[in-house]
């Protein structure tokens, strides 16, 4: 189920000097990401492929239950995807508008994905990110009407991203959101947040539990989890690459 055209990537960390030379010649990466690629190998692996850090703590026969390499882009692919998210004069990242109902939503032809609030952000000419209201105890009163209608009727919605706190795992409210995505037959992804707050042992436990849940209880969820940290940026580049891939921006 790897995205078409993506080369298997983790092994290419061992070829990093050659990778850097190719990227430098082609001018296909930003200076900031070029600095990322110069990190020591172990630190770079943790930053780009955080699930493989978890894999190291598993017995060989237990690794088959983890879908670690379904989406396994090379560092070059990740660098190209990072440019999609780089704000430049030619690739503007702009707030478009906000909406509380689907009929207030702007008519945008680009593919969309959403996270927390119903705010629309245009990422260059590539796609639109729709930030949706949280579905926890602070959810707005019209949450159901707003979100259900959007999920049912938004035809250019490509992928839904559900943020699950890796410290506490899947909660009742997460189950409600998952059931909604399953009922509407929407393709969605589970993103594990705050992995910097977990010990390696606790993160491993959560990944195993959630992966088992995904394997047995879901149909529309992408089999691979995406652990991320907004503090250390671990996993963020890989998630960006996945978004660029499913919206057709790595072709």
Per-residue pLDDT tens over the stretch 81-133: 998 998 888 889 988 887 766 766 777 777 767 654 678 899 999 999 998 87
pLDDT value of residue 96:
86
Neighbours of 220 (CB within 10 A): 15
The pLDDT tens digits of the residues spanning 126-160 come to: 999 998 877 766 676 767 777 888 888 888 899 99
The closest of 18, 23, 5 to 72, measured between CA atoms, is 5
What is the C-alpha separation between 77 and 7, in angstroms, rounded? Answer: 8
Q: What percent of the chain has pLDDT over 70?
A: 80
Instruction: State the Cα torsion 219-167-209-236 to the nearest 10°.
Output: 50
Please tell me which of 2-16, 72-86, 190-204 the model is most confident about, judged by mean pLDDT. Answer: 190-204
pLDDT band per the 50, 70, 90 thresholds, residue 213 = very high
Is 60 exceeded by the pLDDT of residue 24?
Answer: no
The mean-pLDDT minimum among 26-30, 41-45, 61-65 falls in 26-30
Structure tokens at 170: 């899947």
Better pLDDT: 167 or 98: 167
- Residue recorded with tokens 């960390």: 13
Extended strands (E) in the chain: 93-98, 112-114, 119-123, 127-131, 157-165, 188-193, 226-227
pLDDT value of residue 140:
66
pLDDT value of residue 33:
83
Better pLDDT: 67 or 102: 67
Q: What is the mean pLDDT of residues 153-181?
A: 92
| Domains of the chain as residue ranges with CATH | 26-82+135-247 (3.40.50.300)
pLDDT band per the 50, 70, 90 thresholds, residue 193 = very high
Q: Return the ∠ at Cα 229 (arms to 246 and 88), rounded to 5°.
A: 55
């Amino acid at each position: 189920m790897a995205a078409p055209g993506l080369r298997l990537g983790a092994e290419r960390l061992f070829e990093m000097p050659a990778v850097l030379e190719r990227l430098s010649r082609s001018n296909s990466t930003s200076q900031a990401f070029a600095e990322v690629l110069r990190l020591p190998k172990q630190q770079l692996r943790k930053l780009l492929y955080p699930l493989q850090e978890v894999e190291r703590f598993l017995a060989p026969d237990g690794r088959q239950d983890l879908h670690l390499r379904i989406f396994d882009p090379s560092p070059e692919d990740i660098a190209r995807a990072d440019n999609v998210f780089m704000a430049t004069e030619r690739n503007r990242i702009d707030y478009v508008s906000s909406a509380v109902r689907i009929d207030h939503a702007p008519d945008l032809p680009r593919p969309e994905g959403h996270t927390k609030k119903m705010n629309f952000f245009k990422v260059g000419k590539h796609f639109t990110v729709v930030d949706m209201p949280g579905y926890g105890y602070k959810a707005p009163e019209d949450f159901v009407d707003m979100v259900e209608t959007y999920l049912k009727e938004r035809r250019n919605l490509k992928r839904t991203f559900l943020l699950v706190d890796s410290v506490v795992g899947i909660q009742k409210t997460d189950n409600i959101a998952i059931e909604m995505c399953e009922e509407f037959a929407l393709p969605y992804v589970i993103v594990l947040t705050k992995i910097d707050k977990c010990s390696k042992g606790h993160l491993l436990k959560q990944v195993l539990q959630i992966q088992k849940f995904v394997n047995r209880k879901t149909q529309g969820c992408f089999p691979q989890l995406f652990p991320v940290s907004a503090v250390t940026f671990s996993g963020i580049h890989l998630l960006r690459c996945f978004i660029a891939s499913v919206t057709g921006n790595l072709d």
